Copies of this chain bind each other. A is one copy, B any other.
Amino acid sequence: MIGCAILGYGTVGSGVYNVIRSNCGLVNERAGDDIEVRRVLDLREFPGDPVESILTHDFEDIVNDPEVRIVVEVMGGLKPAFDFTKRCLEAGKNVCTSNKELVAEHGLELMRIARQNDVNYFFEASCGGGIPIIRALNDCLTADCVDEITGILNGTTNYILTQMTDEGADFDDVLKQAQEMGFAERDPSADIDAFDPARKIAILASIAFGSSVDYRDVYTEGIRDISAEDIQYAATLGYAVKLLASAVKSDDGVRAWVAPMLISPDHPLYSINGVMNAVYVHGNMLGDAVFTGAGAGSLPTASAVVADVIDAARHGGKRAYCGWKKDEKLTLASNEDIKRKFLVRIKTEDVGNATSVFAPEGFLDTITIGDLDDEVAFITPDLSEKDFEERANTFGKIVSRIRIG
């Protein structure tokens, strides 16, 4: 029997309890031993709930229980999750988590503590919910030098963009609706301002490239400014608008960014809609691979956490491989030389000025859409970020601009 404890009985925590209980036969068979949830930590009471008898409000009950060998940390946030995780690892307990804030901030340090104590710190559910992308990088695509990871790594924003596209609705209306349906938090900033996918791409890049990527170094632009009109232009041109998180290895180093992008139907992430997430990976031998699945939700996320629990049980005292291991921090290369096209919206009266700034050959191929008769849009030639920025500043009157991926 392998004793297990769950820190936090919220959406993911109750999902973890459910997965272990509902699939107990196969979970035990695959773990090679019986997994028993001995304790659940939460400040709240859950009268009548199946965990009532094993509920505790005191973390010491868990960290001091020698029978607890695997701890599931699904509290979220840094405090007290960081201290609790550290103490569990130091007490020789494996820890499995879905806590991307904590992994992005202290992942390497916690893995080091785990190593010193002959246990594992697993965090499959921290990126892409139920998609087994971390195990894919660490244990599956091991023969490859990965040179690009590009993902739709946030279900809330993908849901919002999909709804805006399908219904022609405004950002604010769809956000409100998503909040009412529980697909968006009451404070939606981590999602819509894209800190959440920035943390996730930082974690994935750290694994793929070996050294810690600080998510604060990742250029991050959310979807707050994407309007129904932007999406109408995109659709007219055959593009979808997606919030992409990328880390790409080039001769100059690793570049990373999170931003809404226009992508065409031949892009591998074009048809990823609603709350689905997907991660495109390019390996130097494998070529293109895409991993798609539910990026959030109680049971899909719990499925990934429990897969970690099973892996921790299988490993016993043996440490699992993780590509994220080098002590030095990875200094990201500048994005300013990345060349792309941009979709730019301007007022009709500014076409002359825009032509001189953006179309040196003297012709601006503009499009208009139905109900917006005082403006036009155009696609720039390939411009570096820096070059675009300079021209945009010279021009000064852009209504909106979106990168084309």
Copies of this chain held together in the complex: 2
Stretch of A82-90, A254-262, A283-291, A361-369 contacting B (4+ beta carbons < 8 Å): A283-291
Q: Please provide the chain A residues from 76 to 106 with a CB less than 8 Å away from any CB of chain B in the complex.
A: none
A143 pairs with B292, CB closer than 8 A: no
Count of interface residues, chain A, beta-carbon cutoff 8 Å: 55
A317 at the interface (CB under 8 A from B): no
Within the complex, the shortest CB–CB distance from A7 to chain B, in Å, comes to: 18
Question: Which residues of B are found within 8 Å of A309, using beta-carbon distances?
Answer: 143
Stretch at the interface among A22-30, A49-57, A112-120, A345-353: A22-30
In the complex, what's the smallest C-beta–C-beta distance from A71 to chain B, in angstroms?
17
Cβ-defined contact, A135 with B130, below 8 A: no
> A292 contacts which of B32, B285, B290, B311 (Cβ < 8 Å)?
B290
Q: Which residues on the B side are within 8 Å of A143 (C-beta)? A: 19, 23, 27, 302-307, 309-310
Docked-complex contact A307 and B140, CB < 8 angstroms? yes
Nearest B residue to A283 by beta-carbon distance? B303
- Chain B nearest Cβ from A387, distance in angstroms: 33
Within A261-306, the residues touching B (CB, 8 Å) are: 265, 268, 270-271, 276, 278, 283-294, 297, 299-300, 302-306
Q: Indicate if A141 sits at the interface (CB-CB under 8 A).
A: yes
Residue A386 is within 8 A (CB to CB) of chain B in the complex: no
Can you report 30 residue pairs joining A to B where beta carbons are below 8 Å apart? Answer: A19-B143, A22-B285, A23-B145, A27-B143, A31-B142, A32-B321, A135-B139, A136-B140, A139-B139, A139-B311, A140-B140, A141-B303, A142-B310, A143-B302, A143-B303, A143-B304, A144-B303, A283-B303, A285-B299, A285-B300, A286-B294, A286-B300, A286-B304, A287-B299, A287-B300, A288-B294, A289-B291, A289-B293, A290-B293, A314-B321
